Every structure is written in structure tokens, then in C-alpha cells.
Amino acid sequence: MATQTSSLIGANLSGASSDATALFALGTTADGTSGSRWEYIEVTATCITGEFVLISPAGTGTRLRVASLTANASGYDIGACQGGLNQGEFAWVAKQGRNLYILCTGTITAGNDTGVGFVNTGRLAVEPSAAVGSTAWGIFLTSSTPTTGGANATLGTITFPRVATKDV
């Protein structure tokens, strides 16, 4: 996991650390090793490792739902949980960096060039399986997902994640 390189005292970017009480202002950002950037949020729904969240301008994050992707036009951002988070907890979520956990559905090969998109519950899937209008940009898998099971966290690189909600 990332180690903080910003000058915030007490910021723990381990991903598995969350608090019942806010330790920083919501929306605070921190830089970390491996080119990572993090944002401090309050989660409004329980999230698992690698799950993507939609972050509001007020600093709250909820599980990314395909139906909510048009909220991206209203100033929302996307981040990935790097550990399990319970509803109402405060934690750092990854917005960019290398060797980050990314939750996927089905089999996706590292370096996949057929495109990925979001499905409900904040997971990635190969483009034909993803929801219409949910093509994900700025997310690159560096490890393949297993061929068995429904949801699998794998490693990848995130660079300014965003969604194309219409054909371009």
C-alpha cells in the first residue's frame, strides 16, 4: 500500500484504516508513493476492497451505481476503496496511482484492449458485459482476474478515472 508523501500529520493511506470519527476535513487530498493521490471521504454505504465509489463535491462517497453515472456531470468524482469500509466511516480512497486494488466481475486479462466498463456495485467488467453508457477510462489492469468467482480484486493503475456515459 501507499505511504503518504504529503505533509499531513496522521494520514494513514493503508487502505484498511477507517475511523468512526472524522480526522480530516472531507475532500482533503493527500499524495502517496507510486504516484498515488487520495481523497478523505465519508462512505454512505458499506464498500469492499477495490470497489469504486462516486464521490460527491461535499466529500461523501457511495457505491458506484450505473444509474448514478450521469452525476459525473454534476461535479462528482470516482475513487477506489483500498480496504473494507463500513457505512458512516471516514477513510482515504485512491483516485490515482499504481498497484491499487480494483474490483472486477468475471475474467479480465491484464492489459485488456477490448475496453472495460462499470457494472452495478462499483465493479469493472469487459465492455460487452458492462452496462450501456458506462465505459471506464483511466483504469488499466496490471494483473488478470481469476476465471472463477463473481467479484475479484486485482491490481491495476488508476489515472484520473472517468466514465463516458454516451457514445463519443
- pLDDT tens profile 5-43: 777 888 888 766 678 889 999 999 999 988 999 999 999
Same domain, 93 and 105: no
Q: CA 112, 113, 118 angle in degrees (round to 5)?
A: 70
pTM for the model: 0.86
On whether residue 5 sits in a domain, the answer given is no
Domains identified in the chain, total number: 2
Is residue 36 included in any domain, yes or no? yes
Residue whose C-alpha cell is 477513510:
91
Report yes or no: 158 and 96 within 8 Å, Cβ to Cβ.
Answer: yes
pLDDT at 123 over 60: yes
Residues 64 and 109 in one domain: no
d(CA 121, CA 63): 6
Instruction: Give the cell for residue 33.
Output: 508513493
Domain, as residue range, for 144: 101-164
Residue where a domain terminates, one of 74, 97, 120 = 97
CB 67 within 8 Å of CB 57? no
In a domain, residue 151? The reply is yes
Interval 69-87: pLDDT, tens: 765 556 788 999 999 999 9
How many residues appear in the chain?
Answer: 168
pLDDT band at 96 (very low <50, low <70, confident <90, very high): very high
Same domain? For 29 and 70 the reply is: yes
Grid cell of 165 as nine digits: 456515459
